[in-house]
Structure 1
Amino acid sequence: MIDFTIPTETVRLAEEIKSFVVENIVPFEKDARLTAHGPTEDLRDEMVALAREAGLLTFQAPKRFGGLEPSHLDQAVLFEAAGWSTLGPVALNCAAPDEGNMFLLSRIANEAQTDEFLRPVIEGHQRSVFAMTEPDGAGSDPGQLATTAVRDGDDYVLNGRKWLITGANGAKTWIIMAALEGAGATLFLCDGETPGIVIERTMDTMDRNYVEGHCVVRFDNLRLPASSLLGEEGQAFRYAQLRLAPARLTHCMRWLGAATRAQAIAVEYAGRRTAFGKPIGQHQGVGFMLAENEIALQQCRLMIWWACWTLDQGEQGRHESSMVKSMVSEELFKVADRCVQVLGGMGISDETPVAMIFRDIRAFRLYDGPTEVHKYAIARQILR
């Protein structure tokens, strides 16, 4: 049986979230603290305080931490509402990388690690990073992991270099993937101020929706105690997969919200801007672009819902999430591109948020694996 009915309570909460974003967060899109490297820590703290006051902060958290623990399908509706502004997920504490890190830590962190590293992130008091990607290969292919960890008595000593580490500046909760001698890829958990973590620089990237941007990081004899081991030795790839399938989908949910916003702006503009004697939306060339966008947005929405339903049935969803990530990232980029085209000169300016959405959605085609890597994985699965 196929039923596309969304529970009344989920619809109500989505409307509340969208209203909060429109009224309280959209005005920050013109704030000087939204820099070329994303929102500053100060801007993030101010928005988080508003979400906390509204009772909407980290609504997706497990119930044992005070959250609503919505199903994956419910999340699809709620995260789309949060994504109406690219700052919405930051304010509500459901943005990457924190959202995925909270999901992972809630499943494998022990009690002491939960109290020190997870609860403060859920409560919005500190941010987290997932340090896996490296300049020389590890990322889409984590098998090329070059950062090493060796045992030294009861400690672990890590050395290596990472890049594109989102939000590294100022983050307190660090999840680090390293190749442990004799065991393989292993996850470690530590405080971002631990001696040996060196933030070399913030990279200049085309997107600006993540707090403090993306950094190049070096581990210089980073010494961690045995208590820093996250989960079991040699199980990092398995844990990463636990995190990645849902995280791919939450990326899709949030960017669907942003693309829907861009479409709404383009539709409004096409209805009032005139050319050759009538509103430009009545010209077939523009009207067809808007129609194509409407079709694509609904296709993306249904694909996301399908994969979320699969996860809610207890499946791993790796194949399904790869299909959705591949299709949705490409289609939403086309939607954003057509919105720029409809807006004309306005579309390449910061007079509306469409140009920002366009830049950020272009980067989305790379987040959590580029389209080509997902298609490679899909092809391997169907050829088995």
Structure 2
Amino acid sequence: MDFNLNAKNESYRARIRDFVEQHLLPLESNPEAYDEHENIALGHLEIMRGKAKHEGLWCLQIPEHLGGKGLDISGMAACYEEMNRSIFGPVVFNSAAPDDGNMMVLAKVGTEAQKERWLKPIVEGTVSSAFAMTEPPPGCGSDPGMMQTSAKRVGDKWVVNGHKHYITGAAAASHFILIARTSDDARKGLTAFMFHKDDPGWEIIRRIPIMGPEEHGGHCEIRFDGLEIPDENRLMEVGDGLKLTQIRLGTARLTHCMRWLGLARRSLEIATEYVNTRESFGQTLAQREGVQWLLGEAAMDIQVGRLLTMHAAWKLDQGDFARKEVSMAKVAVADTLHKAVDTAIQLCGARGYSKDTPLEWIYRYARQARLVDGASEIHKMVFSKTLLAERADFWRWGV
């Protein structure tokens, strides 16, 4: 592959970099810019989103005919990385999870009527969304086959009963994608549906407290008790729920990597600025060999993560499922984010551990990277199985 960005992608990347520098990095130092869950406060978010729309930097990942800018996945990789040099970045450009993945899958599989009703408001930024799949034990986590939430057809409607938890963004969402069991078939037993927050028959039990700063809407536990969903709000065919999940998560997992690389870079930027000016025993910290080793190793790991991510993005652009490439990127970049911010805190000392920089925010946020959208151990199983099946061909070059 050619690692040079085309003119369109480079233009968007450079403009996003300027926007982040001019508007978002300064905003992070304003205590009033944060809500009670340590995310950007809604008033400030509305202002920044207005600026992003005005500058033509809104919803880059969605096709132009649906209201976006139509970037390919390689372009998204470069731009999402720049966005998340700010902890506020992705949500400002309407490129944050879970809306990001939900919009992309609806753009791919929704009917025209479904796109108009369910996708368009998310693209416009007038509503947010959630993806309801994960369940408490004995329900599904990494194994969708353990799905307990059921949808039973009654006439032209589906009646849903069950229990979900850690549903990101649920407390703020208006539009939900729900995965529920519709049969006992091992491969075709799950089906996907859309429902609205005002539909009766479901409730948020609680917003689950977490270790790190939270996305808008938190991570919620929800219960379904007779929620009725018209068949017209079913996504794809009956039994295609697992297929929809795979379509959504392939690119969505990689967009996590893109964003995490931005946070990793920001962490090293803060550290390098500090060690270049902080003196100790007649030298700046940057002049010390041990410091150089720490910085160099973290910088190298970030570059490895960027190459893995861009290679997976390129393969997705070619129409490949890129399953092993996405899984390898997910594992590597999750580890790299933690290593980069941990290194930065170590080099910045007490300043890094304090709230005088966003490093402690990034550190707490980074711990979830090895868990979300499949734990690292699950992804290692994915590409190790591929290795066992392909043997030497695991490392083949495309022709």
Instruction: Give the TM-score range, shorter chain.
Output: over 0.9
Cα deviation, residue 243, structure 1: 1.0
CA contact (8 A) 1:58 1:94 kept: yes
Indicate if the aligned counterparts of 2:249 and 2:373 stay in contact, CA closer than 8 A. Answer: yes
Range with bigger deviation, 106-115 or 90-99: 106-115
Structure 2 unaligned runs (5+)? 390-399
Q: Partner residue of 1:280?
A: 285
Q: Out of 283-292 and 20-29, give the one that drifted further.
A: 20-29
**Which residue does 1:234 correspond to in 2?**
239
State the SS of the aligned residue for 1:351: coil
| Amino acid across the alignment from 1:90 | V
What does 1:81-92 align with in structure 2 at a 5 Å threshold?
A: 81-92=82-93
Query: Is the partner of 2:115 in helix, strand or coil?
Result: helix
Count the aligned residue pairs. Answer: 383
Give the match for residue 362 of structure 1: 367
Q: Deviations over 1:112-169 (max 9, x none)?
A: 1111110010111111100001111412111111111111222111111111111111
Structure 1 position 47, deviation (Å)? 2.9
TM-score, length of structure 1 as denominator length: 0.96
Does the CA-based 8 Å contact 2:169-2:220 persist in structure 1? yes
Alpha-carbon distance in 2 for matches of 1:288, 1:259: 17
Structure 2 letter corresponding to 1:377: V
Preserved CA contact (<8 Å) 2:82 2:262: yes
Instruction: Tell me what 2:203 maps to.
Output: 198
2:151 corresponds to which of 149, 152, 166: 149
| Secondary structure at the counterpart of residue 383 of structure 1 | helix
Q: Cα distance 1:288–1:25, how it changes in 2: closer, same or farther (>3 A)?
A: same
Asked if the contact 2:308/2:325 (under 8 Å) is kept, the reply is no
CA 1:107 to 1:228, structure 2 compared with 1: closer, same or farther past 3 Å? same
Q: Report what 1:184 is aligned to.
A: 189
CA change 1:37–1:143 in 2 (3 A) is: farther
Summarize the Cα distance change of 1:39–1:177 in structure 2 as closer, same or farther, 3 Å threshold. Answer: farther
Distance change (3 Å), C-alpha of 1:197 and 1:257: same
Aligned-partner Cα distance in 2 for 1:138–1:318: 21
Where structure 1 has 5 or more consecutive residues not aligned to the other structure, the ranges are none
Determine the C-alpha separation between the residues in 1 that align with 2:88 and 2:165. Answer: 23
Q: Matched residues in 2 for 1:49 and 1:35: separation?
A: 22
Tell me, yes or no, if structure 1 residue 9 matches structure 2 residue 5: no
Displacement after TM superposition at 1:23 (Å): 1.8
Q: Secondary structure at the match of 2:242?
A: helix
Alignment RMSD (CA, Å): 1.6
Partner of 1:118: 119
Residue 34 of structure 1 aligns to a residue whose secondary structure is: coil
Change (3 A) 1:43 1:223: farther
Aligned to 1:97: 98
Shift in Å, 1:297: 1.2
Deviations 1:311-354 (Å, cap 9, x if unpaired)?
11111111210111111111221111111111111111110011
Amino acid at match of 2:330: K
1:37 shift after superposition? 6.1
Cα pair distance change 1:302/1:261, threshold 3 Å: same
Could you tell me how far 1:93 is from its partner in structure 2? 0.1
Q: What whole-Å deviation, never above 9, does each CA across 1:257-280 have from its counterpart, x for those lacking one? A: 111011001000001111121111
2:176 is aligned with what amino acid?
W
How do residues 1-384 of structure 1 correspond to structure 2 at under 5 angstroms? 2-29=1-28, 30-32=30-32, 33-36=34-37, 38-136=39-137, 137-181=139-183, 184-384=189-389
Tell me which amino acid in the other structure corresponds to 2:17. Answer: K
- For each residue in 1:286-305, what CA deviation from the matched residue of structure 2 results, as whole angstroms up to 9, or x when unmatched? 12111111111111111111
State the secondary structure of the residue aligned to 2:329. Answer: helix
1:31 shift after superposition: 4.0
The Cα shift of 1:383 comes to 1.4
The answer to whether the 8 Å contact 2:330/2:376 transfers is: yes
In 2, Cα distance between equivalents of 1:20 and 1:354 = 21
1:131 and 1:165 in contact (8 A); partners too: yes
**C-alpha distance in 1, partners of 2:41/2:276?**
36
What is the one-letter code of the residue matched to 2:127? Q
User: How big is the shift at 1:42?
Assistant: 4.3
Q: If the length of structure 2 is used for normalisation, what is the TM-score?
A: 0.92
Deviations 1:201-221 (A, max 9, x none): 111112225212211111121
Letter in 1 for 2:13: A
> What is the identity percentage for the equivalent residue pairs of Structure 1 and Structure 2?
39
Q: Residue type of the partner of 1:169?
A: A
1:47–1:201 CA distance, 2 compared to 1 (3 A) = farther
SS at 2:349's partner residue? helix
User: Structure 1 residue 105: deviation in Å?
Assistant: 0.3
